[in-house]
Amino acid sequence: MNNTFKIILASQSPRREELLRSLNYTFDTIHLDMDETYSSQLKENQITEYLAEQKSKYYGEVEDKTVVITADTIVWMNNHALEKPKNFEQAKQMLSELSGNSHKVYTSVGFKTKNDFQVFTDYTEVHFMKMSDNEIEYYIENFKPFDKSGSYGIQDWIGIAKIDKISGSFFTIMGLPTHIVYDYLENIKF
């Protein structure tokens, strides 16, 4: 769509950039270098909504006829969040936990204008088939999922080969609930 206002995507995710571009909007991208820690009291969508809002606050003031989009995604399983892995062993541990089980992926997206902030959340349930140690190691070595919550990207080999069911939006798992973004941007009033 042709936007008559400025859009800024405040995200380091190449996947979010690719998805927003696929909606055919013109936008600028900036990287926010901020601390993403949160209280251990927060659970599930509370985490992603809190972080999307903190990113928005970190961005600061917004000009007229501009919308800043922030987002956060977590993998939630067994009452805890699976963050981005710090190393090979952590990635292997996470993927072993996901193997043969279901989990939820939450993505919250924040929209900040000069006078408003709104956050919307979507989640998708994902089920992994059982994975052998060899399959897990192959995936980590070849796809290096160290920038991905839960140590995987659904669009990668592991999603194609080892995820047999999802309930919800595929794009929410990738990190941007595109249906929510499109609906917001098409109906925004300045």
Looking at the annotation, which residues are catalytic?
72
Structure tokens at 86: 């710090």
CA 106 to chain centroid: 7
The one-letter amino acid code at 120 reads F
Could you give the 3-state DSSP secondary structure of residue 185? helix
CA angle 131, 154, 7 (to 5 degrees): 160
Of the CA atoms within 13 Å of residue 100, those in its CB half-sphere come to 6
Q: Which residues contact 76 (CB under 8 A, 6 or more apart)?
A: 44, 82, 103, 104, 105, 106
Residue type, 181: V
Q: Give the whole-angstrom CA distance, residue 11 versus residue 17.
A: 8
Q: Would you state the structure tokens that stand for residue 69, as one six-digit string?
A: 């989009």
Rounded to a whole number of angstroms, the CA Rg of the chain reads 17
